[in-house]
Amino acid sequence: MSTIAWIALGSSVAWVWLLFGQGFFWRTDQRLPRREVPARWPSVAVVVPARDEAAVLPVSLPSLLAQDYPGPARIVLVDDGSKDGTGDLARALSVRYGGLPLIVTSPGPPEPGWTGKLWALRHGIALARARDDAHDPDYLLLTDADIAHEPDSLRELVAAATSHDLDLVSQMARLRVACGWERLVVPAFVYFFAKLYPFRWINAEGHRTAAAAGGCVLLRARMADRARVPESIRQAVIDDVALARAVRGAGGRIWLGLAERVDSVRPYPRLADLWRMVSRSAYAQLRHQPLLLVGTVAGIAVVYAAPPVALCAGLFAGDTAAGWLGAGAWAVMTGTYIPMLRYYRQSLWLAPVLPFTALLYLCMTVDSAVQHHRGRGAAWKGRTYPRPQAAPER
């Protein structure tokens, strides 16, 4: 066989293994588990870190204020140094819509050794759990400022947690898909995340894999104490995965699945917007290791790029073995992507384009590494985290 045929064979073997051996990551059936109404609805504090979110807050915050929750609940919105009037807008929306009580607070600039979001969460959680408050919450809902919740979202999350004695319940919010670049990139983002962190493995009792989706995390308050959250993960750029690992490491039970009634309202109308969203943390996902980056480049080339190249070799260069192997691998790849496209209600014609999308993500990852080595690191909303900082002494 030719060299391209051998590479296509390797890709075919990889896809057979991914199809059956990676926790059926491509399936989209991990939704909130069976739920029962608890005998007593526990108290909940909703903590929302917000930095320059005036554009999306009029859509997301009213959905939290309108939560139809039978137990005690309140919202703490942490205005993390916004320059667009986020805090004042939040107060105005609370007056206009009513609903759950809202506290707006600001923690000041992050201390050394903290990322901005985790610094905001630390302040919000501390305020929500003030010791002189008779309503110290049983659960904390950590949700981003661009996440909109259906009125029963909090009720269903708490019911799932109490029904299955879960310490952390997280839903991957359905991201906005409205323009061409979002259609191309967004479903693949969730598909690749699920491949790295198969939801079935995360939800299996005793499995070591741990991850969460930072836009929607319900966390048992006493587990936050046991896992020392957020102090124990204060430097994390990929804070949701770090949070889940901290909870699992403290003996907690976690669950992650796709959301049906929780949506991100943040638009990414341009490729540059999506590029920044991915590249700010892509190299951190590889633990800032050049060897892992090299392996990722080689892996994407073999797994995603080789099948269409091999098929072209078969069609135009007469390499029959390469053509058949490439066609088979591409067919399996396409088939695994279809469930995610259906979940996002997108055209199935996008499925065969996955090799191109994978190469686009590869470029974003390489750019993330380049920015890191230039000292720009995980730049986001005016803050840059060039490399992991030393933890402050205690």
The domain segmentation of the chain, as residue ranges, is: 3-24+275-372, 44-268
What pLDDT does 391 receive? 37
Q: Residues 326, 311: contact at Cβ < 8 Å? A: yes
What pLDDT does 206 receive? 87
> How large a percentage of the chain has pLDDT more than 70?
94
Helix axes 354-373, 271-285, angle to 10 degrees: 70
Per-residue tokens: 364: 């974003």
Average per-residue pLDDT for the chain: 93
Average pLDDT over residues 143-147: 97
What pLDDT does 214 receive? 92
- For domain 44-268, the CATH architecture is Alpha-Beta Complex (3.90)
Instruction: Report whether pLDDT(322) > 90.
Output: yes
Q: Quote the DSSP letter at residue 14.
A: H
What pLDDT does 119 receive? 95
Q: What is the pLDDT of residues 207-242, one digit of tens each?
A: 999 999 999 999 999 999 999 999 999 999 899 999
Q: Locate tokens 């991957």: which residue?
A: 172
Sort 323 into a burial class: Cβ within 10 Å, 0-12 / 13-18 / 19+.
buried
> What sign for the dihedral angle of Cα 110, 113, 114, 116?
positive
For residue 192, which of 22, 347, 350, 31 has the smallest C-alpha distance?
22
Per-residue tokens: 262: 């929780």
Rounded distance, CA 157 to CA 169, Å?
A: 7
How big, in percent rounded to 5, are the helix, strand and coil portions of the chain? Answer: 50, 15, 35
Q: Residues 73, 46: contact at Cβ < 8 Å? A: yes
What pLDDT does 135 receive? 66
Average pLDDT over residues 324-342: 98
Q: Residues 151, 136: contact at Cβ < 8 Å? A: no
3-state helix/strand/coil string of 289-340: CHHHHHHHHHHHHHHHHHHHHHHHHHHHCCCHHHHHHHHHHHHHHHHHHHHH
Q: What is the pLDDT of residues 7-54, one digit of tens each?
A: 999 999 999 999 999 999 999 999 999 999 999 999 999 999 999 999
Cα–chain center distance at 291 = 25
What pLDDT does 349 receive? 96
Rounded distance, CA 221 to CA 47, Å?
A: 12
Strand, coil or helix: 258? strand
Q: What is the pLDDT of residues 163-185, one digit of tens each?
A: 999 999 999 999 999 999 999 99
Rounded distance, CA 367 to CA 382, Å?
A: 18
Q: Locate tokens 């994407």: which residue?
A: 300
Q: Residues 18, 333: contact at Cβ < 8 Å? A: no
Beta-strand relationship, 254-264 and 147-149: antiparallel
Q: Quote the DSSP letter at residue 179.
A: S
Instruction: Report whether pLDDT(138) > 50.
Output: yes
pTM score > 0.85 for this model? yes
Q: What is the pLDDT of residues 60-94, one digit of tens each?
A: 999 999 999 999 999 999 999 999 999 999 999 99
What pLDDT does 386 receive? 54
For residue 10, which of 251, 310, 353 has the smallest C-alpha distance?
310
Q: Residues 58, 89: contact at Cβ < 8 Å? A: yes
**Dihedral pair phi/psi, residue 101, rounded to 5°:** -65, 145
**CB neighbours of 37 closer than 8 A, spacing ≥ 6?**
159
Q: Residues 228, 246: contact at Cβ < 8 Å? A: yes
